[in-house]
A and B are shown apart, each in its own frame.
Chain A
Amino acid sequence: MRYHLMLQLSIISRKIKEAGIKPILGYLLAIGLFIVMSELLFHATGFAKYIVCLAALALIFRLNERDRSDFLLSNFGCSGMKKIRIIENITLCAPFITILIIKTHFTESAILLILGIIAAVTPIRTNFYFTIPTPFSRSPFEFTVGFRKTFLLFLFTYFLAIIAIKVNNPNLGLFAMITTFIIPWSYYTKPEDDFYIWVHSDTPNRFLFRKLAIASINVSILSLPILTALLIFFHERHSLILLLFFAGLIFQHTVILAKYSAFPREIGLVEAIFLVLSIYFPPLLLAIIPFFYIKSINKLKLLLK
């Protein structure tokens, strides 16, 4: 069991190494980034405590996959598996719980800890044979797969937008719309198997433009209900609403380019830092987008000759 946990640490260190960063530096950067992001989040919205809890739970559920649970069960037995999962979940929740305690949200931190332990001892069988309907079946795969994994979050953003209109709070409405753009970023964090790029009869340039076009259409479909509602109910702020909508599209494009610039590895700390910097200083996009684009083309050339 101890070896298994040490191995998980080694796997994370190897991933950081693959991103071209020394593991110790990677851990320090990740901690720094987490603190900065948390501070900014709590500064930006009163819903930060809920977002922190949701982020922690999303990570926990990723560790709860059926194959992974089966592997642990067959090798360590029932009690061994539960011990490992509890240690993993508490470790994973620790930074989120710490930030909640620092911000004096004691109830939420306690609930998060309890949910983490409950999730560890009651593995969720995610491989059931029910197919979640998606509006993106015609243009697989990112939004098709991603929507099925995150549709509850979209329901949450639509709910937030309704609340925003009810309480006449345009900022909350804008936050809901921005969230519809941020959720699909997660669809582009992991690289696909080589085959799914190779199979395209496109040049690297055309491949990328198709990806950007499909993402633009799909993310617009998801954010359109909120955009329309905001334009109707807060029409005096239409310039800001439209500006944020188009900024959302541009950042979606940047994330896609970041993904293929890192290919075949996952988006690493370097790309993440560039993305975060461009969020706080958008003019940087003028340099970052061409940089990611050229790198993506070079990576894709190997498979799309």
Chain B
Amino acid sequence: MISLTDINKSYGNNHVLKGVNLNFTPGRIYGFLGDNGAGKTTLFKCIAGLEQYEGEITSNLKPLRNHLGFLPTEPWFFSKITGREYITLVCNARHKKITNIEDKNIFNLPLNQYASTYSTGLKKKLALTALLVQENEYFILDEPFNGIDIQSNIILTEIILRLKQLNKIILLSSHIFSTLSDTCDEIHHLIKAQPIRTIEKPDFTALEQEMKSAILNSSIDKLGLK
């Protein structure tokens, strides 16, 4: 269980998160949806402890960050570190012994090649593989589907559903609605500095329609396409 109580986050006068109260229970997948700058990544970073915030975040496993696998939107790698060494690094950091990296290499990554030479998709797959090898209880996946190929997309969806079966807590953001509706039990819709709206699975279709019509009505017409 992870609980967020009255979380506030501002950058100067820019209020990104305002009074966020959420509870996450094991065995459920939580989607996060919102425009660019709505605060999804900031919220994830607050939960991970990578950002300072006002309010309280508690978890049954303490400290939370020791049990959390965090996949950033754009994972960053050192210039001369191989895929294998990256996995070793994050496992060493959590005092996890890893012996059979090859078996865990489900995305067929070129592990002996420098990670910085990987494509965007490969980098994401490497970071994800490392999180899975770490054997975390909680997962934050910030736009995990971005940049990866269709086969890996299918594998990733299956992995997320498998983690749910294993009673993990998974927080997930995506700009592709179908990736959230296929996997999530509930979706939290973030609008900058406004209360978060929670939508349960039966209402996903209505949410998609609502978002589509709101975006299309307000934005495209302004372009004055000729």
Contact = CB atoms under 8 A, between A and B. Distances in A.
B53 to A, nearest CB: 12
Contacts of A200: 93-94
B162 interface: no
B117 A127 contact: yes
A140 interface: yes
A187 to B, nearest CB: 11
Interface in B168-200: none
B88 A140 contact: yes
B89 A201 contact: no
A305 B89 contact: no
B4 interface: no
Contacts of A131: 82, 112-114
Contacts of A281: none
B95 to A, nearest CB: 6
A139 interface: yes
Interface residues on A, range: 20 to 34
Among B48, B84, B89, B94, max chain A CB count under 10 A is at: B89
A198 B51 CA distance: 11
B100 interface: no
Interface residues of B, number: 31
A287 interface: no
A145 B90 contact: no
Contacts of B49: 198, 303, 305
B85 interface: yes
Given A137-B88, A139-B92, A198-B65, A129 B117 contact: yes
Given A137-B84, A303-B50, A201 B66 contact: yes
18 contacts: A127-B116, A131-B82, A131-B114, A137-B84, A138-B88, A139-B92, A140-B89, A140-B92, A144-B85, A145-B81, A148-B80, A149-B80, A195-B72, A198-B50, A199-B70, A200-B94, A201-B93, A302-B52
